[in-house]
Amino acid sequence: MDHGSVFRALEAVCEESISAISAQLSLLQHDATGPLLATMKRIKEHGQAVSALVSGFTAVYHHFDFNTETPANGYRTLVKFCPSLRPFLQTVVISMVSFGENYKKQQTGLGRAALSVITSGKYMVDPELRGAEFERITQNLDMHFWKTFWNITETELISSLARIRSEAVQVNLTLTIPGEPLSLPLAADPSLSVTVSPPIAHWGPGPVQVRLISYMLRQGQDSPELFSFSRFKASPVRPQTGPLSPWLLIHFHGGGFVAQTSKSHESYLKSWSKDLNVPILSVDYSLAPEAPFPRALEECFYAYCWALKNCQLLGSTAERVCLAGDSAGGNLCITVSMKAMSHGVRVPDGIMAAYPATLLTADASPSRFLTLIDPVLPLSVLYKCVNAYTGMDTVTVQPRQELDSLTALGRDTALLFESITQGASSWLQALLDRTPSSPAESSGRHQNAVPHMSASVLQGSREFPEGFEPLRSGCLAEIYTPCMPIMKNPFVSPLLAPDDLLKRLPPVHLVASGLDALLDDSVMFAKKLKSIDQPVTLTVVEDIPHGFLSLSQLCKETKDASDICVARIKDVFERNTPQ
């Protein structure tokens, strides 16, 4: 139906009704006539405003797939997360706001986390205060806060607790690959070779950190040559080893290009190694904003080439190689494959990308509106990650501070007890002061936490009909929309890559969440690959959030989603090509 004709008909009905009523003098003398005429005029004005809005929407909606038979593009925005995850997500929000309150205090990440437990009580009992603080944090705190918060899982204490529930593996080894040129056979003619340079962006050649995980010990994994890349020494006792695997999985972790390492993803990688019976090499690439594009891409590509050249040290013959990654790591899986094409080296046999970021621009899409209510990936945080990776928020590179677990725990404990009295008293005071209050009183009680709009802002130029006032946030946010030419670089936003480059990609398997702000990135990328007859599959899992792989041990729904990813990787290894 033509929406224009609908609104024109509505306007005509309003005008005819107003004319007809105004022509009857007897009706004009009735008390109800005035309000009726005012209502008809307001309906006419609202129709004109909505018509302009719908016209703007229809100019872009055809770019998106709204077919309800194939879930996509965030049209189910009112569906809630599965019940088994809701308590966890609420805990994440409470932890975030408590952590934000203690963010500026002189604590390490673990110390802030521990102190946040003490001060979280008031946010548990007061949802309004929690909501106000969540809004303040997501809109105003800087990238360093988000890096610190997301990296809580990197602390030795937290990772040790996660390790208790994870699969026991025989190989879990961190390696340092030196930054030296590599010589690999040319894919088109193996008799010729191509030289792959080490990563050089921003600060010159440097090593790349990786982690090798294998459920069983295989040939090469106990060799002195492999241990020469590690700070650990090979055991003098050589245990019995299994044969080389024909498969090799290379993994790039998520974290918005700015946070986490393979340590945060160990849990599901160990399960994958067992379920697939395959060695896994996970790359700990350098993070933004200290290392913006293209440093991470260069390091991942270099690690991929090193793995091809040294596959037997990793316990594999690399007859079949699959790239796997989530979120930012999914982006790197695609762009590393594109970089392999441009260098003429062997392309992986397939890609499994979970909820990948394929379009790092500020373009709006239906699913990206979920960032307005998403506790895992708020809008301002998404933009901060994009700004950091594309180089808009670069900072001076700082060397990592290495602390053993006992030293870190001791320092955190000392700093924690310095503030424990203050934190506990604040919590108790919040509980004692809590009395039943009306919504108006509650709003006044939190006026210090949420600065209100000025009258000049509220009384500015009106964009809506008289009598209509949309709901607005209680505090102003300065969200700088990313806008740089580099965002349209195909190696940053692979969705914008030319068809002739995408046609050379290996089979791509995408696994996305129906409640993920990046759902459209998967849908549109799958749609583009399908339009050029490129092998691709898209699986949309309902009712779970972005980052579900890291939550695979929490509930059945996330475990089932992780199993889908395993099945897609297995398809690559077993040569099941999507149609």
Instruction: Return the C-alpha torsion angle 406, 411, 413, 417, nearest 10.
Output: 160
Q: What distances in angstroms separate CA 276 from CA 51, 169, 213, 301, one per listed residue?
A: 54, 13, 12, 23
Please name every residue paired with 131 in a beta bridge, in sequence order, or none if there are none.
Answer: none
H helix runs in 514-555, sequence order: 519-531
Q: How far apart are CA 80 and CA 571, in angstroms?
A: 31
How open is the CA angle 346-176-326, to the nearest 5 degrees? 60
Among 387, 388, 359, 385, smallest CA distance to 518 is for: 359
Quote the pLDDT of residue 271. 96
Residue with tokens 């790197």: 332
Helix (H) or strand (E) holding 127: helix 127-140
String of b and e for 378-397 (b: at least 16 CB within 10 Å)? bbbbbbbbbbbbbbbbeeee
- Phi/psi of residue 245, each to 5°? -80, 140
Are residues 305 and 345 in contact, defined by beta-carbon separation less than 8 angstroms? yes
* Residues in the chain where the model's pLDDT stays below 70: 1, 57, 59-80, 104-121, 156-159, 161, 234-238, 394-483, 576-579
Which of 98, 245, 327, 522 is catalytic? The answer is: 327
Cis peptide leading into residue 243 (ω within 30°): no
Task: Dig out the tokens for 131 from the structure.
Answer: 């909501």
Among 65, 71, 305, smallest CA distance to 194 is for: 305
Helix (H) or strand (E) holding 408: helix 405-433
Q: What distances in angstroms separate CA 1 from CA 4, 58, 103, 348, one per listed residue?
A: 9, 12, 53, 47
Please name every residue paired with 284 in a beta bridge, in sequence order, or none if there are none.
Answer: 209
β pairing state of 208-214 and 171-177: antiparallel
Quote the pLDDT of residue 95. 78
Count other Cβ atoms within 10 Å, centred on residue 506: 19
Q: How far apart are CA 313 and CA 218, in angstroms?
A: 9
* Per-domain residue ranges of the chain: 3-59, 156-364+493-573
Quote the pLDDT of residue 300. 98
CATH class of this structure's domain 156-364+493-573? alpha beta
Quote the pLDDT of residue 157. 62
pTM for the predicted model, two decimal places:
0.73
The pLDDT tens digits of the residues spanning 218-262 come to 999 999 999 999 988 766 556 778 999 999 999 999 999 999 999
Residue 20 class from Cβ within 10 Å (0-12 exposed, 13-18 middle, 19+ buried)? exposed
Q: How far apart are CA 161 and CA 467, in angstroms?
A: 56
What's the alpha-carbon Rg for the chain, to the nearest Å? 28
Q: What secondary structure does DSSP assign to 372-406, as a single string?
A: GT-SSS-HHHHHHHHHHHTTTT-----PPPP--HH
The pLDDT tens digits of the residues spanning 134-179 come to 777 777 777 888 888 788 777 766 667 677 778 899 999 999 999 9
Q: How far apart are CA 457 and CA 146, in angstroms?
A: 30
Q: How far apart are CA 394 and CA 579, in angstroms?
A: 42
Asked about 461 being catalytic, the answer comes back as no
Strand segments (E) across 88-138 = none
